Structure 1
Amino acid sequence: MRRLLLALALGAALRGQEPLAVIVNPESGVSRLSRTEATNLFMGRTRRLPSGLVALPVEQIHPEGPRARFYEILANLPLPQVRAFWARLYFSGQAQPPRQTLSAEETLQVVAMNRGAIGFVERSRVDRRVRTVLLLSERAEP
């Protein structure tokens, strides 16, 4: 029993370190994104994908999901700062925050059904409905 608990704890720790995949619809016309491009899309600085389609950023808001880690890695911002940033933009009428989903599966569905959608999930969740355009991990280069 002790070994099983240790194995489960180790698996959970490793899962927390799993790279995050920035994903798009395969018909978006985007095959790769730089970190700067992804940051600009998720922070509302850019409203179109490099292919010209209007971007629909999507983020998971599940408390145990990868959202906080995503913004820490991508933009070097803690989640409270990201929330404050979006509150300022939203209430000033300058931009809409990313569409929110409750799970990786819902994110995959939204991205798969919208040509301009861009989201993020843990790499192990990626399937053939979407295309990975950027991988992020704690050891990612700036």
Structure 2
Amino acid sequence: MNKHIKHALIAFGLSAVSLASQAQVAVIMGPSAAPITKDQLANVYLGRSFDLKPVDLPEASPLREQFYKKATDRDQSQIKATWSRIVFTGKGQAPIILQDAAAVKKAVISDPKAIGYIDKAAVDGSVKVVFSLD
């Protein structure tokens, strides 16, 4: 097989694996919630707006890292610094950290102001997708 074709196939294969490992992130709220914009979402998760109560997945969750990168264009260390500053100055409370998608769904169902994110594959009829980060 031609050396260039072989390298192209390897590169394509690695790209496909990378894309497969990227989950689709669904931003969810209770069933009666209205859709939101990316700016509104970023403002909630960056502590610029306190209209909604953000809930988070654990720091070790790959979905959390993907969510923040897509929703706020920031990485985990920048998010941590942002919330440390907000909490230190008394301007707000950091998002509540929940252990998994089931806990996030339970939180948004029980509080109409709660907003969270989960893998799109975990969405069911109990919650409403208010924004998608593909």
TM-score category (smaller protein): 0.7 to 0.9
Tell me if 1:19 matches 2:16: no
Identity %: 27
Do the aligned partners of 1:23 and 1:120 also contact (CA within 8 Å) in 2? yes
Do the aligned partners of 1:25 and 1:112 also contact (CA within 8 Å) in 2? yes
Deviation at 1:31, TM superposition (A): 2.2
Residue number in structure 1 paired with 2:125: 128
Unaligned runs of 5+ in 1: 1-11, 49-54, 138-142
Residue by residue over 1:77-130, the C-alpha shift from the partner in whole angstroms, topping out at 9 and shown as x without a partner, is 010110011001101111111111011111111111111110000100111111
Paired residue secondary structure (2:55): strand
Matches within 5 A, 1:1-142: 15-27=20-32, 30-48=33-51, 55-61=52-58, 63-137=60-134
More helix by share: 2
Calculate the TM-score normalised by the size of structure 2: 0.82
RMSD: 1.9
Do the aligned partners of 1:62 and 1:103 also contact (CA within 8 Å) in 2? no
Paired residue secondary structure (2:118): strand
Q: How many residues align?
A: 120
Do the aligned partners of 2:56 and 2:97 also contact (CA within 8 Å) in 1? yes
Decide which moves more: 61-70 or 78-87: 61-70
Residue by residue over 1:14-36, the C-alpha shift from the partner in whole angstroms, topping out at 9 and shown as x without a partner, is 55322100101113xx3211100
Q: Distance in 2 between matches of 1:94 and 1:64?
A: 26
Change (3 A) 1:13 1:108: farther
Q: Which amino acid aligns with 1:41?
A: V
Paired residue secondary structure (1:102): coil
Do the aligned partners of 1:65 and 1:103 also contact (CA within 8 Å) in 2? no
Residue by residue over 1:30-70, the C-alpha shift from the partner in whole angstroms, topping out at 9 and shown as x without a partner, is 3211100111111111111xxxxxx2111101513411111
Unaligned runs of 5+ in 2: 1-16
